[in-house]
């Protein structure tokens, strides 16, 4: 398996624009997580899905953020409108529903909002 695949790897946009980050989890994994990493706040969980259903979105900072998982092999994190303080590295991770609790992370998307 190619692992968790995120796109794009880098995104530069202007304040007010819509940004969509994409994630393809490892095939067969039941859980998908979206994290945000910044120097100030470290690694924060934004939202996670189980079997494509959002379970906990309490980490989503505000209504400008939304996430969807239309099927088991694809998820998006959307920011609309984007603001400079959204600049961060966004990670997607997935794991199986059984066995060891290992989360497999993608390489991340580095977002810069100017």
Partner 1 sequence: GENVEQHPSTLSVQEGDSAVIKCTYSDSASNYFPWYKQELGKGPQLIIDIRSNVGEKKDQRIAVTLNKTAKHFSLHITETQPEDSAVYFCAARQAGSARQLTFGSGTQLTVLP
Contact footprint for partner 1 (CB under 8 A):
4, 31, 33, 42-43, 45, 48, 50, 55-56, 91, 93, 95, 100-103, 105-108
> DSSP letters of 74-107?
EEEEEESS--GGG-EEEEEEEE-SSSS-PPEE--
- Output the CA–CA distances (angstroms, integers) from residue 40 to 43, 44, 53, 57, 96, in the order listed: 9, 11, 30, 21, 30
Provide, rounded to whole angstroms, the least separation between the CB of residue 89 and partner 1.
Answer: 9
Provide, rounded to whole angstroms, the least separation between the CB of residue 109 and partner 1.
Answer: 10
| Nearer to partner 1 (CB atom), residue 17 or residue 51 | 51
Q: Could you tell me which residues come within 8 angstroms of residue 58 by beta carbon, excluding any fewer than 6 positions away? A: none
| Nearer to partner 1 (CB atom), residue 1 or residue 18 | 1
Provide, rounded to whole angstroms, the least separation between the CB of residue 53 and partner 1.
Answer: 12
| Nearer to partner 1 (CB atom), residue 14 or residue 44 | 44
d(CA 13, CA 96): 34
Provide, rounded to whole angstroms, the least separation between the CB of residue 88 and partner 1.
Answer: 14
């Amino acid at each position: 398996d190619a692992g968790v695949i995120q796109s794009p790897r880098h995104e530069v946009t202007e304040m007010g624009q819509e940004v969509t980050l994409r994630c393809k989890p490892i095939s067969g994994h039941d859980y998908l997580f979206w994290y945000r990493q910044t120097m100030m706040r470290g690694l924060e969980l934004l939202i996670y899905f189980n079997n494509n259903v959002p379970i906990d979105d309490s980490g989503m900072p505000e209504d400008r953020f939304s996430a969807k998982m239309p099927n088991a092999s694809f998820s998006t994190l959307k920011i609309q409108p984007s603001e400079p303080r959204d600049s961060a590295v966004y990670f997607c991770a997935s794991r199986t529903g059984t066995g060891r609790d290992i989360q497999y992370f993608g390489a991340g998307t580095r977002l810069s909002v100017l």
